[in-house]
Every structure is written in structure tokens, then in C-alpha cells.
Amino acid sequence: MKKEKLPDTELRVMQAIWHMDAPASTSEIREELQKERPWNLSALQTLLGRLVGRGFLSTEKNGKNRYYTPLVAEEEYLAEDSRRYFQKWQGGTLRDLVACLYESRSVTKADLEELKAFIEQETKE
């Protein structure tokens, strides 16, 4: 995939679109986003245009409405973003990352148990 990291506002727009039925109209996207806070229509249109230009969305016009369809799945983006974040840890290992998260109380013992169960399930063979 190799898409660049999205700025927070563009990521929020993509998150809304990923959780909607595609294709979604500009007004439907705005309505979804406004559940959290007001959105200026022209600013949203600018963001949608940027996302189309970056290859995250395709667009089509039908009558007066413009519709958007994601070209990148949420899981793909999250996997790439996680990989990019992990690479920032110069020489860091997965163990170091988990230990740091645990020591900073960002994850709990219950989270570690869940991770342990996942690893055991995935490594059975």
C-alpha cells in the first residue's frame, strides 16, 4: 500500500467514511462527522479533494451530489501506520515496545493476557 500518514483531520474524515456504506455522499459524510462537532462544508470538500488526490478515495458525481468510495481499507491503513510507528523505535523490539507500554500503564495485565492468548493461538503449528 505505502500511503503516507494522514493528518489528524483527514484521518477523522476517513474513519467516518470507513464506517459508512459506500459510496457516501458529501452530505452523508458531513452528517456523520457532525455527530462529534460542527463541520464547515467547504472545508470538508477541500479535505475530500485532498484524500482523492492522495489515492485514499475515489469520487463520482451523480446529479448535484458527489459520492466517495474508500480505495484503502481501514485495516490496511492501520497496519501501515503501525509499521511506520514501530520503525521509529530505532533498534527497538516488540518486547521493548510492550514493556514500555506496560510500565507507562498504557496496557494492563488483562491486555497482556489477551496478547498472550493471541500469540499462543497464532503460533500453534
pLDDT digits (tens, 9 = 90+) for 6-55: 999 999 999 999 999 989 999 999 999 999 999 999 999 999 999 999 99
Looking at residue 3, what DSSP letter applies?
P
| pLDDT tens-digit map of 57-113 | 999 999 999 999 999 999 998 888 777 777 776 556 777 777 777 777 878 889 889
pLDDT (0 to 100) of residue 90? 53
Q: Which grid coordinates belong to 48?
A: 475530500
Task: Please give the mean pLDDT across all residues of the chain.
Answer: 88
Looking at residue 123, what DSSP letter applies?
T
CA dist 55 to 27, 37, 119, Å?
A: 21, 26, 34
Task: Report, at the CATH architecture level, how domain 8-70 is classified.
Answer: Orthogonal Bundle (1.10)
Domain ranges of the chain: 8-70, 91-125
